[in-house]
Amino acid sequence: MIFPLKVIYEDEHLALIHKPAGILVSGNGFMTLANALDQNLKQSSQPDATLPRPIHRLDYATTGILLCGKTSSCIRALSKLFQDKLVHKTYFAIAIGQMNTSGSITTPIDGKRSKSHFEVIESVPSERFGTLNLVKLSPETGRRHQLRKHLAGLGNPILGDKDYGQEGLILNGKGLYLHAHSITFKHPVSKELLTLASPLPEKFSKIFLSQIKL
């Protein structure tokens, strides 16, 4: 086994797993989450069973829930759900600095339409960063690094973001405080509306103790 993965949900057609930080979802390297799926998931007994495949991506440093297909037909159906924007994802991040309690960000990314909704769940004072905010994020589009770029564009970069953070406010050694928390979609086979979640990492609850059950 390459490495063990936490399986959140699995059936004959699809699975949802927890992606740890510091690993690529897919790519040319051997140590990718895609390469580890076969050792962590049960083989489907469906006639079009295939090697499990991630349906979407999460950044290298991002943790959280990831949807995977286990049959050729389900992979196609799930990919179309994403294409048709019928998959709803919720993220949580810790953002730096004073910010509005809620809003939408529509700044284009790489010249393409982009939209993210945010809601501040809780704020705490910080000696080093001034204010830290636990922020719930709902992206409408799926551009590369969208949430990181959108929050940085507001002047509220995500804690631990070395690419889009502000000089002097980079937290080293703790990773990126961005977590893919939940996903909602209609199962392509059973047609059941599924909502599944991956609990917040412990490092979030150390800052926001009242939100430990999120």
Q: What pLDDT is recorded for position 28?
A: 74
Least confident of 35-39, 102-106, 173-177, 209-213: 209-213
Q: What pLDDT is recorded for position 31?
A: 83
Are the C-beta atoms of residues 187 and 195 closer than 8 Å to each other? no
Q: What pLDDT is recorded for position 171?
A: 75
Q: What percent of the chain has pLDDT over 90?
A: 83
Q: What pLDDT is recorded for position 137?
A: 98
CA dist., res. 82 & res. 151, Å (int): 23
CA dist., res. 97 & res. 104, Å (int): 17
Q: pLDDT tier at 211 (50, 70, 90 boundaries)?
A: very low
Residue 128, burial from CB neighbour count under 10 angstroms (0-12, 13-18, 19+): exposed
pLDDT at residue 169 is higher than 90: no
Are the C-beta atoms of residues 23 and 33 closer than 8 Å to each other? yes
The number of CA neighbours under 13 Å toward the Cβ of 59 is: 20
Kindly report the backbone phi and psi dihedral angles of residue 74, in degrees, each rounded to the nearest multiple of 5, phi listed first: -70, -40
Strands 14-19 and 6-10, how do they pair?
antiparallel
Are the C-beta atoms of residues 203 and 173 closer than 8 Å to each other? no
Q: What pLDDT is recorded for position 209?
A: 66
Q: Residue 2: which of 149, 92, 20 has the closest Cα?
A: 20
CA dist., res. 140 & res. 148, Å (int): 14
Q: pLDDT tier at 166 (50, 70, 90 boundaries)?
A: confident
Distance in angstroms between the alpha carbons of the first and the last residue of the chain: 31
Q: What pLDDT is recorded for position 27?
A: 81
Are the C-beta atoms of residues 188 and 181 closer than 8 Å to each other? no
**Each residue of 43-57: pLDDT tens digit?**
999 999 999 999 999
Say which CATH topology domain 6-88+182-211 has: Pseudouridine synthase (3.30.2350)
The 10 Å Cβ neighbour count of residue 85 is: 10
Q: Which of 11, 59, 84, 161 is catalytic?
A: 59
Are the C-beta atoms of residues 135 and 95 closer than 8 Å to each other? yes
CA distances from 118 to 34, 134, 163, 173, 174 (A): 30, 10, 21, 26, 23
Mean pLDDT of 59-71: 96
84 tagged catalytic = no
